[in-house]
Amino acid sequence: MAPLSCAPSLHYIKANQEKLAVLTAIKKTPSFPSSTDIKTLEMASEATTMMKPSFDINKLSYQIFSILESKFLFGFDDPNLLATGNPLEAPVKPAARFPKPSSAGKVRILSIDAGNAVIAAVALARLEASLAEQCGDSTARIADFFDLAAGSGAGGVLAAMLFTCAPDGRPLFSADEALRVVSKNQRKFSSAIRKTIFCRSSGIYHRIFGESTLRDTIKPVLIPCYDLATGAPFVFSRADAVEADAFDFSIRDVCAATCTEKKTVEILSVDGQSRIRAIGGSIAMRNPTATAITHVLNNKLEFPLANNVEDLLVVSLGSSNSSPTELFNIAGENAAEMVDQAVAMAFRQNGPMATSYVRIQATFLGSRGMSPAAAEKEILSQRSVDSMLFRGRKVSDRTNGERLEWFCRELIAEHNRRKGCSVSTVMIKPTVTPRISTATAPAPAVASL
């Protein structure tokens, strides 16, 4: 039987749009109800900028994000939502919620932008080293302290390297090893694309991941691409892969799909029944943070106690700025910043150390031959940039390194809390029908990559 074109997965077909909270993008969305509703949101946005300082900004930011999340990410389900006199006071239809015990903790999310993955790799290497030092375990890995990873483009490759399971049951790479591989093979990530789906790749992705598939990841992963067959973003997900072979893809193919920018890559699911005509993840969603948050808040099978953003602990790792001539990348960076603005609003950001959401962004000007140590010094010494509600962006008084140290303490606190807690914050779907052929090859030597 001929392979079928694969539509976006049922779990995330409505949760994979990156243009969150951008009214101009909403206007172009066929699923949005009418021009009247658009005008209502525009008037609400203009009105909020004129409100007195005494207005409850935290409440306002949460309500705005809830409306946009409900209407844009999940479709128009409630025709009465925007029919009231004040749309900011309209009731938002919530997802089904489970009672949350007082001892339940936070779901830990890692999100990595498309683009230059060196910034994210440097940040994760520093974070992993700090985690290992503070918990007293030299074998500690990033995957031990996060419940879900989302990555786009080269960020998706980095997430896969840190969350794919090796034969010994541990992550395939440490963050430091991943940094060395990323630094050495940055250009190969965009050129290691096979000409056809029928050719066996001997390139970088095959050497890194072998025959591993999405089922072989230790924790849930989300990696986007744009599917030309359906004309919509598609999110590769472990949650779907464990349910059906039609949604399970080899990780080397997933990486090729999310990284390609100039060529179309056609890949097949492991059972040959689903086909993706992919173009890169940076086109679909350069910043996958909103998709990761939406996935967690609406996936009650794996995250039953996550009811709102207060139940999350999120770190979002950006990429470096493009040159003035790279118009395509500049557009993608603007879209990523818009997602950052919306997510920061949802987390009621009042200051860099008063939120469960941390964004690491830097301008990386290092040369191609710069050592990982030099890149780390340059990136982590830069001051972070905060997205402020209705106030644009401002330079923080803390560096990226200081922010990572603060976030490290939060991760350690959550990790220790779970050790003595009988309530499971996360329940990862087991692989019901594991295939013996996957994840059996020995882990690759970093020096050979």
Q: What is the pLDDT along the chain (449 residues), one digit of tens a residue?
A: 444 444 444 444 444 444 344 334 444 444 444 454 545 445 544 444 444 444 454 555 555 555 555 544 443 444 444 444 443 444 444 455 555 555 568 999 999 999 888 889 999 999 999 999 999 999 999 999 999 999 999 999 999 999 999 999 999 999 999 999 988 876 666 544 444 333 334 488 999 999 999 999 999 999 999 999 999 999 999 999 999 999 999 999 999 999 887 788 999 999 999 999 998 888 888 999 999 999 999 999 999 999 988 899 999 998 765 544 455 566 667 777 778 878 877 886 544 445 789 998 877 655 555 677 777 788 888 887 776 656 666 777 788 899 999 999 999 999 999 988 878 889 988 875 555 444 555 667 666 66
Q: 345 near 359, Cβ under 8 Å?
A: no
Sequence-separated (6 or more) residues with CB below 8 Å from residue 207 = 444, 448, 449
Residue carrying structure tokens 């602990």? 313
211 token code pair: 């025959």
pTM: 0.73
The pairing of strands 265-268 and 274-279 is antiparallel
Total domain count for the chain?
1
Q: How many CB atoms lie within 10 A of CB 445?
A: 9
332 token code pair: 């993608």
The DSSP code sequence of 274-307 is EEEEEE-HHHH-S--HHHHHHHHHH-TTT-TT--
In angstroms, what CA-CA distances link 146 with 183, 223, 254, 449? 23, 16, 21, 26
323: region left, alpha or beta (phi > 0 left; psi from -120 to 50 alpha)? beta
Catalytic one among 130, 152, 356, 384? 152
Backbone angles phi, psi at 408, to 5 degrees: -60, -45
Crossing angle of the two packed helices 372-380 and 118-135, in degrees rounded to 10: 90
Q: How far apart are CA 380 and CA 126, in angstroms?
A: 9
Q: How many CB atoms lie within 10 A of CB 262?
A: 9
Taking alpha carbons only, the member of 275, 195, 193, 261 closest to residue 229 is 275
Sign of the four-CA dihedral 303, 307, 311, 314: positive
Q: How far apart are CA 306 and CA 426, in angstroms?
A: 9
In angstroms, what CA-CA distances link 299 with 135, 237, 427, 430? 30, 12, 11, 15
CATH code, domain carrying 414: 3.40.1090.10
Q: How far apart are CA 55 and CA 300, in angstroms?
A: 34
Residue 103 structural domain: 1-449
Note if 322 is an active site residue. Answer: no
Taking alpha carbons only, the member of 274, 232, 229 closest to residue 253 is 274
